Amino acid sequence: MGDVTTQAHAVRLQGITKRFPGVVANDDINIEVRPGEIHAIVGENGAGKSTLMKILYGMQRPDEGTIEVNGRVMHFRSPKEAIAAGIGMVHQHFMLADNLTVLENVALGAEPHRGPLLQYGEARERIRELATTYGMPLDPDRLVEELSVGERQRAEIIKVLYRGARILILDEPTAVLVPQEVDELFRNLRELKREGVTVIFISHKLDEVLAIADRITVVRAGKTVKTVNPGDVTARQLAELMVGSELPRPETRASTVTDVVELAVQNVALRGIGDRWILQDIGFEIHRGEVVGIAGVEGNGQAELVQVIMGLRTADQGRISLSGRDITRDSTHERREAGIGYIPEDRQEMGLLLEAPLWENAMLGHQDKAPFSSGPWVNKAGARGRTAEMIEEFRLVTLIVAREMTAKPNLLIASQPTRGIDVGAQAAVWEAIREARRRGMALLLISADLEELIGLSDTLYVIYGGRLVAKLDPNEVTPEELGSYMTGAKGAEGAASAGERDAQPGVRTQVPGAPVQSDPAASEPTGADPDAAAGEDGRP
Ligand SMILES: Nc1ncnc2c1ncn2[C@@H]1O[C@H](COP(=O)(O)OP(=O)(O)O)[C@@H](O)[C@H]1O
Ligand SMILES: [Mg+2]
């Protein structure tokens, strides 16, 4: 046992340094976590949070520094040793086997089991016990593939507790959750804390950290910046600690929405396998100078909606027009010519040729126009010149946004434009979107970041089960309310009326209550449809 003074810490990290080729992921990190507290670690993407937690969990060895757990210096060589010391980690990406039950996932590989046979009876009992103690209801005999994201996470947490963890690391646990599930997770974390478990909560979302943490440590570029009490800082101050400078303010928006309809989608439907519909009855308009946001849990048809507008898939019903011209049967190339710009979701695969020089990337999709080409030839000098201009205007990560904007499209479709990029680049993308709006473009924004949707959109729709189930005013809607529509808890009735049949765009037409739809099959999310699922990642 360690002495009394060091026992004041459940975990104490001193001078932790970890270098990877070309990058110092952790640079003299110092953090003290008290027993039974919820200690948040916040920092931008790439700040070194996951690396630090992998070190604490024995997955990686630090180059320098010491780890103390409950007052004892530890040299973990594997997660097994960290688990033996009472540390458990729930990773950013779940590690459960889909085709096994909760029980099998939890019990497999865990000690103790006698002989070659797992003691499933005992394990089941223990899971039930943990579920009750920590207020995390979960049926041990359900298949993991049948669980919601929130339930999977719960299974991961129970798995870790089952192995005897008293110090629980959660790496970006809310990234995959809708607001309701976040609330549920936070209730669970408070319950764990009441039972004396120490929680280390990793996030880059400041409001969450402020809501749940007893203390917060900010890391930036691999270094510890400061440990603060949530009561002593505002979200803004915290964000500034995170990025190390003053933030651009999300300015209040003066409406730039005009009367001119740029994109009109009328009664569009897309058939899946058999008689399933991936999209049904989709109708909405985007005016010049307007940002229309679409919220939805992934796999509810948003990727396919973009594909249909882009011409990557052809609608089975309905009509799409751009600047008053019917483009329903046009090819993707013709649509781009007609003025549709696109910031794809999967930027690594679709947006950029990572091995190619910048100027080649800069002209993708626009290579047959000046100054990128002269006649049939690529004009390298012209392309380089224009690329330099583009980089001047925007940072490297926003090159795609710049590329699309430079073509001055009439309609710009942005799919998850800030997913996986850091706070600084995020601000640049937001600014680019606002600038596009000021210039009178029509914008369609698909995002999983509800704050981003609410902050940037003039009009918000929720897509659920392939239908637009609500049209909301971003000035009034809360993330929680959005979440209710996204999970189908609220809505349904708005489905048919949310689109073009409805009153003036911009007028709030939120529909209270949720009568059942006439066609029960239609209200199932298309994520369950194998065809729709195939399109989930943005590829047709
Ligand atoms: N295994 C690795 N090899 C090389 N570089 C890595 C590795 N793991 C992380 N990094 C780099 O270390 C830095 C910190 O990454 P990470 O700890 O994942 O940050 P965070 O979790 O805060 O987003 C990043 O620059 C990342 O690219
Ligand atoms: Mg991480």
Residues 168 and 139 placed together within one structural domain of the fold: yes
Residues 306 and 176 placed together within one structural domain of the fold: no
Residues 415 and 445 placed together within one structural domain of the fold: yes
Using DSSP, state whether 150 is helix, strand or coil: helix
Residues 96 and 157 placed together within one structural domain of the fold: yes
What is the structure's pLDDT at 507? 32
What is the structure's pLDDT at 362? 61
Residues 141 and 277 placed together within one structural domain of the fold: no
Sign of the dihedral defined by the CA atoms of residues 283, 287, 289, 290, in that order: negative
Cβ of residue 365 lying under 6 Å from some atom of ligand 1: no
Using DSSP, state whether 321 is helix, strand or coil: strand
- In the beta sheet, which residues pair with residue 340? 411
Q: Tally the domains of the chain.
A: 2
Q: What is the DSSP letter of 136?
A: -
Q: Would 297 be classed as within a structural domain? A: yes
In angstroms, the CA 27 to CA 29 distance is 6
Q: Would 523 be classed as within a structural domain? A: no
Residues 139 and 100 placed together within one structural domain of the fold: yes
User: Is-cis flag, bond preceding 371, omega within 30?
Assistant: yes
Backbone φ and ψ for 148, nearest 5 degrees, come out as: -75, 170
How many other C-beta atoms can be found within 10 angstroms of the C-beta atom of residue 338?
16
Ligand 1 mutation target, pool 19, 23, 52, 59, most atoms within 8 A of CB: 23
User: Is-cis flag, bond preceding 35, omega within 30?
Assistant: no
**48 alpha carbon to ligand 1 midpoint, in Å?**
6
What is the structure's pLDDT at 259? 87
Provide the CB-side half-sphere exposure for 190 (13 A, CA): 8
Residues 231 and 197 placed together within one structural domain of the fold: yes
Closest CA to 305 of 443, 444, 506: 444
What is the structure's pLDDT at 536? 35
Q: Would 507 be classed as within a structural domain? A: no
Please determine, for residue 6, whether its predicted confidence score (pLDDT) is greater than 70: no
**389 alpha carbon to ligand 1 midpoint, in Å?**
31
Using pLDDT thresholds of 50, 70 and 90, give the confidence band for residue 38. Answer: very high
Please determine, for residue 247, whether its predicted confidence score (pLDDT) is greater than 90: no
**58 alpha carbon to ligand 1 midpoint, in Å?**
16
In angstroms, the CA 326 to CA 264 distance is 9
Give the ligand with the smallest distance to the CA of 22: 1
Would you state the torsion angle of the CA atoms of residues 529, 530, 532, 534, taken in this order, to the nearest 10 degrees? 160
Between 375 and 473, residue with greater pLDDT: 473
Q: Would 11 be classed as within a structural domain? A: yes
Is residue 515 packed enough to be buried (19+ CB in 10 Å), middle (13-18) or exposed (0-12)? exposed
CATH number for the domain spanning 339: value is 3.40.50.300
Using DSSP, state whether 227 is helix, strand or coil: strand
Residues 63 and 201 placed together within one structural domain of the fold: yes
Give the H or E element holding residue 467: strand 467-472
Closest CA to 154 of 185, 197, 128: 185
Cβ of residue 472 lying under 6 Å from some atom of ligand 1: no
Query: What distances in angstroms separate CA 53 from CA 61, 89, 201, 324, 465, one per listed residue?
Result: 11, 8, 10, 54, 37
Residues 229 and 265 placed together within one structural domain of the fold: no
Contact 236, 293 (CB under 8 A): no
Q: What is the reported pTM? A: 0.55
Please determine, for residue 407, whether its predicted confidence score (pLDDT) is greater than 80: no
What is the structure's pLDDT at 422? 65
Residues in the chain: 540
Contact 415, 343 (CB under 8 A): yes
Using DSSP, state whether 369 is helix, strand or coil: coil
Overall average pLDDT of the 497-521 stretch: 35
Contact 102, 136 (CB under 8 A): no
Q: Would 31 be classed as within a structural domain? A: yes
Cβ of residue 43 lying under 6 Å from some atom of ligand 1: yes
Using pLDDT thresholds of 50, 70 and 90, give the confidence band for residue 348. Answer: very low
What is the structure's pLDDT at 17? 97
What is the structure's pLDDT at 36? 96
**48 alpha carbon to ligand 2 midpoint, in Å?**
7
Tens digit of pLDDT for each residue in 271-310?
988 778 999 999 999 999 999 999 998 889 999 999 999 9
Question: What tokens appear for 313 in the block?
Answer: 């898939």
Cβ of residue 47 lying under 6 Å from some atom of ligand 1: yes
The range of the structural domain enclosing residue 493 comes to: 261-354+409-498
Q: Would 9 be classed as within a structural domain? A: yes
The crossing angle, in degrees rounded to 10, of helices 235-243 and 423-438 is: 110
Using pLDDT thresholds of 50, 70 and 90, give the confidence band for residue 356. Answer: low
What is the structure's pLDDT at 365? 67
Minimum mean pLDDT among 91-105, 259-273, 526-540: which range? 526-540
Cβ of residue 92 lying under 6 Å from some atom of ligand 1: no
Closest CA to 121 of 107, 136, 100: 107
Minimum mean pLDDT among 65-74, 342-351, 442-451, 512-521: which range? 512-521
CB-based contacts of 413, cutoff 8 Å, min separation 6: 306, 309, 310, 340, 341, 342, 343, 443, 444, 446
Average pLDDT, the chain: 80
What is the structure's pLDDT at 19? 95
Q: How do the residues of the chain divide into helix, strand and coil, expressed in percent and rounded to 5?
A: 35, 25, 40
Residues 153 and 9 placed together within one structural domain of the fold: yes
Query: Helical H runs in 163-202?
Result: 179-194
Minimum mean pLDDT among 105-119, 130-144, 206-220, 389-403: which range? 389-403
Contact 522, 468 (CB under 8 A): no
How many other C-beta atoms can be found within 10 angstroms of the C-beta atom of residue 247?
13
Give the ligand with the smallest distance to the CA of 42: 1
Ligand 1 mutation target, pool 17, 19, 20, most atoms within 8 A of CB: 20
Tens digit of pLDDT for each residue in 127-179?
999 998 888 889 999 999 899 888 999 999 999 999 999 999 999 998 888 88
Q: Would 21 be classed as within a structural domain? A: yes
Q: Would 503 be classed as within a structural domain? A: no
Ramachandran bin of 310, using left for φ above 0, alpha for ψ from -120 to 50, beta for the remaining angles: alpha
Give the ligand with the smallest distance to the CA of 49: 1
Ligand 1 nearest atom to the CA of residue 222, by list position = 14
Closest CA to 499 of 457, 463, 447: 463
Please state, for a pLDDT cut of 70, what percent of the chain lies above it: 74
Residues 153 and 213 placed together within one structural domain of the fold: yes
Ligand 1 mutation target, pool 51, 53, 223, 224, most atoms within 8 A of CB: 51
Q: Considering 215, 243, 271, which residue would you say is the last residue of a domain?
A: 243
Residues 265 and 125 placed together within one structural domain of the fold: no
